[in-house]
């Protein structure tokens, strides 16, 4: 939802560290925090500051050709603005220059603070695959603060050199082909260290604390812990990290990975346990789908284009579809997956978060709490999911072109008689004035025919359409559909009816197409980069608040329990297929046809 394009970052924190690059390009956060900090101050100051900043909540500039750009050097621009304000206004407002700079994201003690990032579970899959590469990409882009250190923490015995070796071998990321990548990587690796310890040992975390202090060198220390460990050891690790390795002077934040429990009760218990050691503000519950470019763009699309928002309701929208598919199975993660299943793994979090962003009312501002308040409201307006509105499936072995793909239960870590769903489709409803009666259909599955995540918005028929005769009998096929393809090949396209050029009157379906790879030359950052940076900056918009989590679980918990109590047998579908036909019957019950059936560009 940050209004800024994914510009080069060269960011600095809203309250912790200085611009890390002299060119000073940065994300909009500083100014978002700036304006929110300012808006808590006296009205005249707000007015003057907002005017001098172009009355904008971000440093976005809309160019004449429609492109969005940041000012050439926002840091210098901001310095100049502050200078003007100092000259003209501060003496009368009572705001000190230091306060103003701090609110604007400048670190008043710029050489005094440091950020230590500890990846707890550094030997694991997620750390190697996502966290270290994202940290390196942030470093490469100049987004990490001047004084930063990365620590890996896990039980495995490793030296610093071994950690660096492990990290460098797995540092495959979007930066690989860029200029000076090797040099930057060497510099980055010099800032990476390792500490071996148990997750439940105060003593081992105290030893980590000692090492962190050495690296912090007496500066104000800010500490970020990323819990990349199985959920059963979250609390032990949080307890030890918070009591033995919290920052003495700066902030301490903890990123918690999903799963956040497996139902309402266990999630509430996890929240309660976390809050014994941390305040809600310190907890950053990550849902990496919120860090995806097109998910972040959803609000921009909706709230900054006049043509969409007026259509965003039951009056014009017939149904909304949230579709996730992967063309591979649970390979390697069967043990985890069997305890959760696809509804918990994808629907209750990733797809529901997208739904909430899609359907929420306009927030008061782009501040994290305003956005999260709206998301909670929409989640709480939703009808609890009923068993009859759910279809579940499980993939079975399939041989194609001489290659045999294993079934879900062929995985050695999965019980042979497992009925855990690897596919689910569900119909959800929001009982509020905007969305009354509009089906929100979700579909998520593993081992399907393709890998894709998309949002499809099917609009109503044109009443009394003059061209009905030219359209044919299938009116559904002729209605407008807006597709937001989250991945791969990020795109936004709108299906319209169009006259086929020629002397006759024949209509076809064509796309108004915004394909990111042709429109933007910049590569899209990985979701983990955005989210890590946000956590470092203390920006919470893209993290899940505990009341959001409660509301999300209460929608799914009853049906999950029922499925498990009844041991409902899933519909089996071949590996690599389009999934169970039951999904089509479910959609048909609500007069919906899945939009992803045809061959699409
Ligand atoms: N991998 C992924 O793609 C995704 C993972 N997640 C979540 O992120 C977190 C980390 O995932 P991932 O890296 O796959 O997890 P791993 O299973 O790889 O575990 C991470 C590390 O935790 C330690 N560990 C593993 N099992 C235990 C155990 N039973 N007791 C104590 N320590 C253990 C191991 O380190 P050591 O033995 O060295 O201590 C391991 O390297 C999990 O919460 C997962 O649900 C979320 C989304 C995607
Ligand atoms: O959270 C999860 O997400 C991944 C899919 O993430 P993506 O960014 O690659 O689309 C999924 O494979 C995994 O099962 C789930 O736990």
On average, the pLDDT of the chain sits at 84
Asked whether residue 47 carries a pLDDT value surpassing 90, the answer given is no
C-beta separation of 90 from 97 below 8 A: yes
Nearest-CA residue for atom 16 of ligand 2: 345
Coil, strand or helix: which one is 482? strand
How confident is the model over 426-473, as pLDDT tens digits? 999 999 999 999 999 999 999 999 999 999 999 999 888 888 877 766
Q: Is the CB of 257 under 6 A from ligand 2?
A: no
Rounded CA gap, 517 and 504, in Å?
A: 35
User: 429 C-alpha to center of ligand 2: Å?
Assistant: 25
The residue that leads in pLDDT, 320 or 218, is 320
Atom of ligand 2 at shortest distance to CA of 349?
Answer: 1
159 to 79, 166, 205: CA distances (angstroms):
44, 10, 17
**33 band by pLDDT with thresholds 50, 70 and 90:** very low
Report the range of poorest mean pLDDT among 55-59, 140-144, 176-180.
55-59
Residue closest by Cα to atom 13 of ligand 2: 345
Which residue's CA lies nearest to atom 16 of ligand 1?
Answer: 124
3-state class of 310 per DSSP? helix
User: How many CA atoms does the CB half-sphere of 222 hold within 13 Å?
Assistant: 24
Ligand 1 center to 127 CA (angstroms): 8
Say if residues 473 and 507 touch (Cβ distance below 8 Å). no
Is the model's pLDDT at 30 over the cut of 80? no
Euclidean distance between CA atoms 549 and 265, whole angstroms: 11
Produce one character per residue of 525-549: b if its CB has 16 or more CB atoms within 10 Å, e if not.
Answer: bbbbbbbbbbbbbbbbbbbbbbbbb
For residue 110, the model assigns a pLDDT of 52
pLDDT digits (tens, 9 = 90+) for 144-167: 999 999 999 999 999 999 999 999
**Interior angle at CA 24, CA 18 and CA 28, nearest 5:** 85
Cα separation, 9 vs 137, whole angstroms: 10
571-574/113-120 β-pairing: unpaired
Which residue's entry shows tokens 């739904």? 355
- Per-residue pLDDT tens digits for 326-373: 999 998 787 889 999 999 999 999 999 999 999 999 999 999 999 999
- 43: which strand partners? none
Q: How confident is the model at residue 170 (pLDDT cuts 50, 70, 90)?
A: confident
H or E element that contains 113: strand 113-120
Which stretches within 191-228 are classed as H helix?
202-216
pLDDT at 565 over 50: yes
Ligand 1 centroid distance, CA of 462 (Å): 51
The torsion of the CA quartet 93, 99, 102, 104, rounded to 10 degrees, works out to: 0
- Residue 393 pLDDT greater than 70, yes or no: yes
Which residues, judged by CB distance below 6 Å to any ligand atom, belong to the binding site of ligand 1? Answer: 121, 123-127, 154-156, 199, 228-231, 233, 257-259, 336
Orientation angle between helical segments 352-359 and 293-303, nearest 10 degrees: 20
Share of the chain above pLDDT 70, in %: 79
Q: What are phi and psi of 323, to 5 degrees?
A: -120, 130
Parallel, antiparallel, or unpaired for β 283-286 and 317-325? unpaired
Give me the pLDDT at residue 80, please: 54
The ipTM assigned to this model is 0.98
Q: Which of 10, 350, 461, 584 is catalytic?
A: 350
CA distances from 224 to 148, 230, 252, 312, 352 (A): 11, 18, 6, 39, 27
* Gap from CA of 124 to ligand 1 centroid (Å): 5
Whether residue 260 has pLDDT greater than 70: yes
User: Hey, what are 234's tokens?
Assistant: 């979250």
350 is known as an active-site residue? yes
- Torsions phi, psi for 220 (to 5 deg): -60, 125
Percentage of residues in the chain having pLDDT higher than 90: 71
Atom of ligand 2 nearest to the CA of 330: 14
8 Å CB contact between 267 and 261: yes
Check if 345 has its Cβ closer than 6 Å to any atom of ligand 2.
yes
Span from the CA of 199 to the centroid of ligand 1 (angstroms): 12
CB burial string 485-507: b at 16+ within 10 A, e below: bbbeebbbbbbebeeeeeeeeeb
Is the pLDDT reported for residue 572 higher than 90? yes
Q: Give tens-digit pLDDT for 236-251.
A: 999 999 999 999 999 9
Gap between the Cα atoms of 172 and 183, Å rounded? 15
Q: Are 254 and 276 in contact (CB under 8 A)?
A: no
Q: Which residues fall within 8 angstroms of residue 455, CB to CB, at 6 or more apart? A: 298, 320, 321, 322, 323, 354, 358, 483, 484, 486
Give the per-residue pLDDT at 16: 37
Give CA–CA dist 15/241, Å, rounded: 23
With 50 as the cut, is the pLDDT of residue 414 above it? yes
Q: What is the mean pLDDT of residues 538-556?
A: 97
Instruction: Please check the confidence at residue 424 and state whether its pLDDT lies above 90.
Output: yes
CB neighbours of 588 closer than 8 A, spacing ≥ 6? none
In this predicted structure, what is the pLDDT of residue 584?
A: 97
In this predicted structure, what is the pLDDT of residue 87? 55
């Amino acid at each position: 939802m940050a209004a800024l394009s994914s510009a080069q970052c060269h960011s600095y924190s809203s309250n912790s560290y200085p611009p890390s690059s002299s060119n000073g390009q940065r994300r909009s956060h500083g100014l978002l925090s700036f304006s929110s900090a300012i808006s808590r101050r006296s009205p005249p100051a707000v007015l003057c500051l907002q005017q001098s900043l172009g009355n904008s909540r971000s440093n976005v500039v809309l160019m004449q050709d429609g492109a969005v750009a940041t000012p050439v050097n926002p840091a210098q621009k901001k310095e100049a603005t502050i200078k003007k304000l100092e000259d003209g206004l501060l003496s009368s407002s009572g705001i000190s220059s230091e306060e103003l700079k701090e609110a604007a994201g400048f670190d008043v003690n710029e050489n005094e603070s440091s950020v230590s990032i500890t990846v707890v579970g550094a030997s694991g899959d997620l750390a190697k695959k996502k966290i270290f590469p994202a940290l390196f990409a942030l470093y490469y882009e100049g987004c990490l603060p001047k004084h930063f250190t990365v620590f890996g923490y896990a039980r495995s015995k490793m030296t610093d050199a071994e950690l660096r070796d492990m990290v460098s071998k797995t540092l495959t990321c979007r930066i690989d082909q860029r200029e000076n990548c090797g040099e930057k990587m060497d510099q980055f690796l010099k800032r990476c260290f390792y500490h071996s310890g148990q997750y439940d040992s105060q003593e081992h975390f105290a030893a980590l604390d000692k090492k962190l202090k050495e690296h912090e060198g007496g500066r104000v220390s800010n500490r970020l812990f990323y819990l990349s460990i199985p959920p059963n050891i979250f609390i032990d690790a949080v307890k030890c990290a918070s009591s033995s390795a919290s920052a003495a002077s700066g902030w301490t934040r903890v990123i918690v990975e999903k799963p956040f429990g497996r139902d309402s009760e266990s999630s509430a218990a996890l929240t309660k346990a976390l809050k014994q050691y941390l305040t809600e503000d310190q907890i950053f519950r990550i849902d990496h789908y919120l860090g995806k470019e097109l998910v972040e763009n959803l609000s921009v699309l909706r709230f900054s284009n006049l043509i969409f928002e007026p259509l965003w309701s039951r009056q014009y929208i017939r149904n909304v579809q949230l579709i996730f598919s992967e063309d591979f199975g649970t390979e390697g993660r069967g043990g985890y997956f069997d305890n959760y299943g696809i509804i918990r793994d994808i629907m209750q979090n990733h797809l529901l978060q997208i739904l909430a962003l899609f359907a929420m009312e306009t927030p008061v501002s782009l501040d994290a709490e305003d956005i999260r308040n709206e998301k909670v409201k929409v989640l709480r307006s939703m009808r609890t999911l009923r068993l009859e509105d759910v279809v579940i499936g499980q993939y079975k072995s399939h041989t194609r072109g001489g290659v045999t793909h294993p079934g879900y239960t062929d995985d050695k870590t999965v019980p042979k008689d497992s009925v855990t769903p690897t596919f689910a489709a569900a119909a959800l409803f929001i009982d509020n004035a905007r969305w009354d009666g509009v089906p929100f259909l979700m579909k998520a599955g593993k081992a399907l025919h393709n890998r894709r995540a998309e949002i499809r918005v099917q609009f109503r028929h044109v009443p009394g359409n003059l061209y009905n005769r030219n359209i044919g009998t299938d009116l559904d096929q002729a209605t407008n559909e807006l597709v937001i393809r989250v991945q791969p090949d990020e795109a936004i396209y709108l299906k319209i009816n169009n006259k086929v050029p020629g002397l006759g009157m024949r209509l076809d379906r064509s796309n108004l197409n915004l394909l990111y790879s042709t429109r933007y030359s910049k590569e899209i950052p990985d979701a983990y980069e955005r989210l890590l940076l946000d956590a470092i900056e203390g920006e919470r918009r893209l993290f899940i608040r505990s009341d959001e989590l409660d509301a999300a679980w209460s929608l799914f918990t009853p049906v999950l329990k029922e499925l498990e109590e009844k041991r409902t047998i899933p519909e089996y579908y071949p590996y690599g297929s389009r999934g169970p036909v039951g999904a089509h019957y479910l959609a048909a019950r609500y007069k919906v046809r899945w939009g992803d059936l045809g061959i699409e560009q």
